[in-house]
Structure 1
Amino acid sequence: MYHQLGKISGRLVAASHLQSPLFPIAPIALQRVEVPQIQYTTAQLSTVTEASACPAPGKRRLIPGTNQPYPPVPEAIRKRQEQFQTDDDVPVFLKGGPFDGILYRFTMALCIAGIIGVAHTIYIHAVPKKE
């Protein structure tokens, strides 16, 4: 027997006009489908020739999907990369110089002030005022 909500009362009542449940009794098994083959080298995917896909050391690398080489890295960026990649036991957030140290200390001071503010707010709301 199946049930439905009554239109007037909003309660469950026996449904006489429903002949079948709202879900299949015997589900049909899924059909097996062949997996499509992946094509790695087609004219639509790459315009780079196979010989230039892996350049020899010292040659300029190509932008993926084109035959154009990457532009050269400016000298200022190369110096900054060397500065940040040196192994001198200094954290990376302090390798920028003295201004990075000032920003780090300022950020830590703001974090501590925020924690104190949260603790003060919790204390104000947790402890009732004495009258």
Structure 2
Amino acid sequence: MYHQLGRMSGRLVAATHLQNPLFPIAPVALQRVEPPKIVYNTNQMSTVSEACPTTSRPKRLIPGTNIPFPPVSEEIKRKQELFQKDNGVPVFLKGGPFDAVLYRFTMLLCIVGLMGFAHTIYGHAVPKK
């Protein structure tokens, strides 16, 4: 038995006019259609060379706009050099002694939390007398 959507209720009802699964559709091959061509709006888009005048180094643009990225400050450049240096120190400790204190404090909180979790589980597993 075949079903269709009812016109009034929108629910699934038994189909009365379908005798076989291909009625009223004939088994015809799908027709090939050319995909639509992508048309770019060239009024709002430009290349880097159009947006920035020719300089020694072309500026990168913020994606989707014609606005160049703002210049990076010297402090940020210095910190990038510090954190990208390959000196064998993990990245979470490269900030100096304050990072080491924060790391150890975080590990202490994790251990205290695990001990509290274990105490709670033990308290629920072993009933008091």
**Residue 20 of structure 1, aligned match among 12, 15, 23:** 15
Aligned counterparts, 1:39-118, within 5 A: 39=39, 42-44=41-43, 46-48=45-47, 51=49, 58-63=56-61, 64=63, 65-66=65-66, 68-118=67-117
> TM-score if structure 2 supplies the norm length?
0.65
Aligned identity (percent) is 52
- How has the CA–CA distance of structure 1 residues 33 and 111 changed in structure 2, closer, same or farther, with 3 Å as cutoff? farther
Unaligned 5+ runs, structure 1:
2-17
Separation in 2, partners of 1:56, 1:104: 47
Unaligned 5+ runs, structure 2:
2-12
Give the aligned length: 109
Query: 1:67-119: per-residue Cα shift (whole Å, max 9, x none)?
Result: x4332211111100100010000011100110000000000011111111111
Separation in 2, partners of 1:74, 1:19: 72
CA contact (8 A) 1:60 1:70 kept: no
**Could you tell me which residue of structure 1 aligns to residue 36 of structure 2?**
36
Which stretches of structure 1, 4 residues or longer, exceed 6 Å deviation after superposition? none
Separation in 1, partners of 2:124, 2:58: 65
Separation in 1, partners of 2:58, 2:119: 60
Separation in 1, partners of 2:71, 2:124: 60
- How has the CA–CA distance of structure 1 residues 124 and 100 changed in structure 2, closer, same or farther, with 3 Å as cutoff? same
**Could you tell me which residue of structure 2 aligns to residue 7 of structure 1?**
none
> TM-score if structure 1 supplies the norm length?
0.64
* RMSD (Å) for aligned C-alpha atoms: 3.5
